[in-house]
Amino acid sequence: MNETNKQLPTDPLANNSIEEISKKLRDGSITCFQLTSTYCRRINILNAKLHAYIYFDEDSALSWAKSIDTLIENGVDLGPLMGIPIAIKDICSVNGMPTTNGSEIKSDHITGPEGSLVRRLKSLGCVILGKTHTVEFALGATGLNKNKGTPKNPWDSKTHRIPGGSSSGSGVAVASGLAAFAIGTDTGGSVRIPASFNGIVGLKTTKNKWPTDGIFPLSPTLDTPGPIARTVKDTKLIFNTYNNNIKNPKPINLNDLTFGKLKEPFTENLDPEVSEAFDNICKELVNLGASVEEVIIDEAREKATLFPTIVGSEIISAFGREKFLQVVDQMDPVTGIRAKLGLKVSSVEYIKAKKRMPELNTIVRAYFRKYDALISPTTIMQAIEVDNSSVGNELHERSLLASANTQPVNIFGMCAITYPIQKFAKNECQQILPIGLQIICDKDNDDYAVEIALAFEKQFGTPELPNVNKFL
């Protein structure tokens, strides 16, 4: 019988948290081999439809799982992520796995050998299932990749909708139950956007909180790796375990907090459903006793010039100007157009842009003297159809606005997390597509951002997940 016609095993996280699975691994209720086998079966059945993974190594994953079981049997405990199957974005080097950076252009030498982040995850006992699809060279917010293929958003089995980029495959893998969590990278929103479009949680860490060696250097100034997970609870466990953070802070109550509700430009061009969900959850916060005040940060508009100046210059530097000119026309057209913008940037403009970033950080940090967090929609839209985001389509330009609300956070040097809020959109559509709430905190306050998001999750719950059985 064809693998795709076989019954889909139950998603291990359908009724469990990562912490609960971790406990089952230690008390012998399940083995790592059994857990990993379940994920492998789900990948074998669904990946042909969803295209979350560009590379999947079942034999290696199962062999690693057996080794983890042996360690557990011998009393070795590497922490709560030991034995948890995960996925890695394909701009991160993993020993024994190819790194394409989402491109037909050979570039693994630029990415370099396996880096500190992956080695750390391995040392914690994570089982790496494979590499997930990405936008070419991680330069794009929609998730489109003409050369390597575009993952399918699992919320719509009939229409191919954008998965969000550039960590497109990571978002789809987690939402579809093809990995317990995944690693993405966020230069201008590439963890938060796919998390938002797929109805899950994504944490944009503060710059240098997690290492970037062994990761394609799209923009050394802005690149930040981060986890994509089902829930805030899982995200907290991942973040704290990775950072060896054993603090157990007092739970946060939403009614004790003061929020800055970001207005223009963060509320410009919103889909009606996004606007409704954002306004409604702000009303809920007020009803709970929280303080919500409207805030306008005009400096956010500077991302329109600062982001392409910095990223455009630095992606050219990654290749070297001469090599870049040789290969740019082989790139996906959208990627190539965006990358070429860097050719027009002078050294003076680049230096000015770099100098402006700490100035903006100082300006925006002042808001956190008054507000515990700033909040906005993560994206201005829900996931649009892939055909409507193609070059030449009337909605193409709108699709490029997917990162409009996330890029400023990178430019400001802050941390942020996205939490799903589509339940607050009272539309009557047969299918409600995901909507994300972006929670922004001051730099190096990543754990606080996670705690605030956890308070949202405890108050409003975790959202329903997509019905991937419709893809069978």
CB 132 within 8 A of CB 87: yes
Question: Are 261 and 293 spatial neighbours (Cβ–Cβ below 8 Å)?
Answer: yes
Site of tokens 């740019």 = 328
In 286-385, beta strands by DSSP E: 291-295, 373-377
Gap between the Cα atoms of 420 and 460, Å rounded: 10
| 140 closest CA partner among 162, 165, 161 | 165
Burial class (CB in 10 A: 0-12, 13-18, 19+), 379: buried
Residue from 22, 93, 157, 166 carrying the catalytic annotation: 166
Distance CA 72, CA 31 (A): 9
Say which residue the tokens 């034999």 belong to.
Answer: 59
- Per the CB < 8 A criterion, the answer to whether 171 and 54 are in contact is no
Q: What's the CA gap between 461 and 420, in Å, rounded?
A: 10
Q: Which of 103, 157, 190, 399 is catalytic?
A: 190
- Biggest CA–CA distance in the chain, Å, is 63
| First-last CA distance in the chain | 14
Q: For this structure, is 166 an active site residue?
A: yes
Q: Measured in whole angstroms, how far is the alpha carbon of residue 379 from the centre of its chain?
A: 13
Hey, CA dihedral for 299, 300, 305, 311, is it positive or negative? positive
Out of 89, 152, 204, 209, the active site residue is 89
Tokens of 186: 């966020």
Contact 209, 163 (CB under 8 A): no
Coil, strand or helix at 436: strand
Burial of 358 (0-12, 13-18, 19+ CB in 10 A): exposed
**Hey, which residues are catalytic here?**
89, 166, 190
